[in-house]
Chains A and B, each alone.
Chain A
Amino acid sequence: MYIQESIKTKYPPGDLALWIFICAELLVFAIFFAAYAFTRASNIELFNQYQATLNTDLALLNTIALLTSSYFVVSAIISIKENKQKQSTRFLFLSIIGGCAFLIMKMTEYSHHMSEGINLTTNLFYMFYLSLTFFHFMHVILGIMILLVLWLNTRKGLYTADNHDGLVSGGAYWHMVDLVWLILFPLIYIMK
């Protein structure tokens, strides 16, 4: 085991096709982030004013929910490497809970905005805030669906210590959803 892990590979673990997809997705987010930052540069007052209306406490909890969920996915992979399917299944279940917690908290935030009559046309800041977070929100939903498939597959015993490429690939996608949020959180909620 030790030896195997110290040898470096040329390609990232998991399916290369999925990594290409991850790159494409990251590119989309990068452009969105840059667009936010540059638009803010010419509307600093407006952005600072409305940024202050956001709920950073919920955003903190959301970040932790995603991190915890990612943590459990990694744990699930470590377990499968030891051929502990049961334990791996449990970890995956917990990571799905983490993702769902994110969705619920984000939805309370959205419903709060909606009750205040805020929408895409309210102003430029909210346009970006809503577009970016909602685009990410959709990715969380997709990620959870992938996790569900992984969970079912693990339960069925499809993955073993020697064969768990699917789990690693799906996990990588979920970490991507997580790391995008790690930029989004400071950028939109805190940086000024």
Chain B
Amino acid sequence: MEKSYRTNNIIFATLVLLTLFTWILGQKDIIGDISEIIDGKAFFLILLSIAIIKVHLIGDFFMHLNTVSGFWRWIITLWVMLTGSFIAIAFLL
């Protein structure tokens, strides 16, 4: 049980850090004009990857899908990959 609490804390901290990172990427006054640092597509891909990782973490640990095997184990991850691909197609093409 101690282990469950610890996992929970770690996942939560990761999620918050990733969220902060996402937010910082959107702040002009902190990091300046992003397009001068990286190219727009890379910027988008970083944001999208972070979002996908976060959703996957929620599915695996908060929704306990890591205790499941087979189709349902991947249901959230599959959803976010599919949704993410659609978004990526629209943003990149």
Spell out A's residues near B (CB within 8 Å): 1, 5, 8-13, 19, 23, 26, 29-30, 33-34, 37-38, 40-41, 56-57, 59-60, 63-64, 67-68, 70-71, 73-75, 78, 81-82, 168, 171-172, 175-176, 178-179, 182-183, 185-187, 189-192
**Docked pose: A82 CA to B1 CA in angstroms:** 8
- Size bracket of the B interface: 35 or more
The interface bits of chain B over 45-65 (1 if a CB of A lies within 8 angstroms of the residue's CB, else 0) are 001101100110011011111
Given A13-B67, A33-B83, A179-B59: A186 and B90 interface contact (C-beta under 8 Å):
no
Closest to B53 in A: A182
Q: Which of B1, B59, B79 has the most CB of A within 10 A?
A: B79
A165 to chain B, nearest CB (A): 12
Given A10-B72, A70-B62: A183 and B8 interface contact (C-beta under 8 Å):
no
Q: Are A8 and B19 in contact (CB under 8 A)?
A: no
Closest to B85 in A: A34
- Which of A12, A64, A192 is close to B75, meaning CB atoms less than 8 Å apart? A12
A73: chain B residues at CB < 8 Å are: 62
B79: chain A residues at CB < 8 Å are: 23, 26, 30
- Which of B40, B48, B72, B89 is close to A12, meaning CB atoms less than 8 Å apart? B72
* 8 contacts across the A-B interface (CB closer than 8 A): A9-B69, A64-B16, A75-B5, A78-B4, A187-B87, A190-B22, A191-B48, A191-B91
B4 to chain A, nearest CB (A): 5
Q: Are B51 and A78 in contact (CB under 8 A)?
A: no
Q: Are B23 and A10 in contact (CB under 8 A)?
A: no
**Docked pose: A45 CA to B4 CA in angstroms:** 47
**Docked pose: A29 CA to B75 CA in angstroms:** 15
Spell out B's residues near A (CB within 8 Å): 1, 4-5, 8, 12, 15-16, 19-20, 22-23, 25-27, 40, 43-44, 47-48, 50-51, 54-55, 58-59, 61-65, 67-70, 72-73, 75-76, 79-80, 82-84, 86-87, 89-91, 93
Q: Are B1 and A78 in contact (CB under 8 A)?
A: yes
A180 to chain B, nearest CB (A): 9
Q: Are B8 and A34 in contact (CB under 8 A)?
A: no
Q: Are A179 and B67 in contact (CB under 8 A)?
A: no
B87: chain A residues at CB < 8 Å are: 33-34, 37, 187
Q: Are B8 and A78 in contact (CB under 8 A)?
A: yes
